[in-house]
Amino acid sequence: MLTKSQIVERLAEDGAGGRQQVKHVLDSLAALAAEELEKGENFSIPGIVKIQWHYTAPRKKGEAYKKGETYNSFGTEKTAEADSPARKQRIKARAHLTSGVNRAVKDEKSGKRAITKNKK
């Protein structure tokens, strides 16, 4: 994994500006993301990642199904042996890869290289 300094160095070499400029842009981008997420907004860096808020509603015990009722679970019908468990409300920020990065991740060769590298 590249460190921030290595990313700055590579971007500066690719002509994205001086090292200080690139470092300032990365710092500003991180601050902007934090600010937007703090406001409850989703945040996206086009072509790289999208950070979205995900909400799961709370449920009371037995709200999904009651003891003895039949329900569908992954294509098979089951009979509940007990009431469905209660579930707390959850609010989480989740990162999703965007198209360009997602294509690289789905490449089987990239995955094999990552597994081989992490085994060492």
DSSP character string of 10-28: HHHHTTS--HHHHHHHHHH
pLDDT in tens, 36-66: 999 999 999 998 899 999 999 999 998 888 8
Please report the pLDDT score of residue 23 as a whole number. 95
Put simply, whether the predicted model's pTM sits higher than 0.75 gets the answer no
Q: Indicate the domain borders of the chain.
A: 1-41, 55-120
Please report the pLDDT score of residue 39 as a whole number. 95
Q: Are 93 and 53 in contact (CB under 8 A)?
A: yes
Q: Which of the two residues, 13 and 79, has the higher pLDDT score?
A: 13
